[in-house]
Structure 1
């Protein structure tokens, strides 16, 4: 793919302002990490995203636990999911900025909202599809409430939980890049989306491609990490087939 990319740039005579070649992009990547601009942008984006993922995961865990315990919690989760899950999180960012200001808090709220619902949906599906025999055995052993969730439902629903985390990560990743492209972070500077948009303003095309390549590499790394966790857990435990 890199060879075809370089061949196109070399043979087509495309304007370098439109498409930068792999050599120029590699140079921009090296320079961006050497001077700290691209490195700082990447670290900031990941910090905000990981914070939002943690908050969203906790909220999703609380909602799904309540939905498992009570009918009211189940109805509440169904209502919130039907309202907020189809709503693009980036669409509520202007309103959140009015409430919280143009800083990382607004991004954290918006991204947490983006990740809560896919995680909650997958975990709830996992709980509902747990083998009834396992639940019956847990009840026979005296497990109730949180102990039932912790010792029976969570391990049995692990494939769905990992799927929800992977989907939530993807939702959050897209949301934070889109938000940074438009609003930046902390009102003036920020993460990878801001880095790409800043490069666009000053026609630094290799830096735009460098930011995109960084996003792609992080996506590949996280996909490999999720695959490793799945192999070490659900595949090893016989809960899913080996791909």
Structure 2
């Protein structure tokens, strides 16, 4: 009787350990460059930046700026998502709507959101409205294009299968079209979030505080004016960490619970 072959041993996924090692390597190189330049005003070291970051978090100063930026970001991103789904509905509703959205997207998608800031300041002044305008522009077009492409790529066989099961109208959209187009929709959300986050920081760098309350971009700008370069790097580190947190906690969780679980993505 032939002995059974033991199951192959699968190594655990050590992606987090590799990423941690990469961050440590970058920090070591950064610290070495800082010692080589030997000029804290030009390039503070990783340790000095970490101390400035920790001091800002411990004192609550950094949290205040972060909360202002995230509050504006959530509002602008939500408005952009709502507008994008409205435009997507127009694009998939018929030939006229598709041509209209294709034309508008070709006109406005290449236009950088920050280029609209002078108009936003003229129309809405130094307030939250200006930031919301540029944020909506940065979100609405990439999400509309991705969601529209996702709905257009749904195979006819899935549509016919839905009709065979008696689905139609809203039920067809919710149970067939949206799940099938979800990879493209999530991709558009990720692109829109990234565009909105960097647009917000850039806008805050341009005109600073909003209604007397400064965001993270204003913190970076103010620290640069006061020659606190370590705080500038601490603010940039906060921007990067928030981006990584949203990517891993929000979007990767959504992908794991939906499209990866359904076998639509490896």
- TM above 0.5: yes
User: Partner of 1:40 in structure 2?
Assistant: 64
Q: 2: distance between equivalents of 1:186 and 1:145?
A: 44
Q: 2: distance between equivalents of 1:9 and 1:96?
A: 40
Of residues 211, 227, 231 in structure 1, which corresponds to 2:256? Answer: 231
Q: Which moved more, 1:99-108 or 1:184-193?
A: 184-193
SS of match in other structure, 1:90: helix
Structure 2 residue 31 is matched with structure 1 residue 3:
no
> Are the counterparts in 1 of residues 37 and 43 from structure 2 also a CA contact under 8 Å?
no
Q: 2: distance between equivalents of 1:76 and 1:93?
A: 25
- 1:86-235 correspondence runs (5 A): 86-186=110-210, 188-225=212-249, 226-235=251-260
Q: 1: distance between equivalents of 2:37 and 2:94?
A: 65
5+ long unaligned stretches in structure 2: 1-25
5+ long unaligned stretches in structure 1: none
State the 1:187 CA deviation: 5.2
Q: Tell me the C-alpha RMSD between the 2 structures.
A: 1.5
Q: 1: distance between equivalents of 2:106 and 2:46?
A: 44
Deviations 1:168-194 (A, max 9, x none): 011111111110111123155411111
Find runs of 4+ consecutive structure 1 residues off by over 4 angstroms: none
Q: 1: distance between equivalents of 2:176 and 2:60?
A: 47
SS of match in other structure, 1:54: helix
Q: 2: distance between equivalents of 1:58 and 1:101?
A: 24
Q: 2: distance between equivalents of 1:16 and 1:168?
A: 36
User: Partner of 2:96 in structure 1?
Assistant: 72
> Are the counterparts in 1 of residues 113 and 138 from structure 2 also a CA contact under 8 Å?
yes
SS of match in other structure, 1:40: helix
Q: 1: distance between equivalents of 2:173 and 2:91?
A: 11
Deviations 1:39-96 (A, max 9, x none): 1111111111111111111111111112212222212211211111000011011101
> Are the counterparts in 2 of residues 123 and 164 from structure 1 also a CA contact under 8 Å?
yes
Higher relative contact order (CA 8 A, sep 6+): 1
> Are the counterparts in 2 of residues 126 and 156 from structure 1 also a CA contact under 8 Å?
yes
Deviations 1:3-62 (A, max 9, x none): 22222223x142110111122211211221222221111111111111111111111111
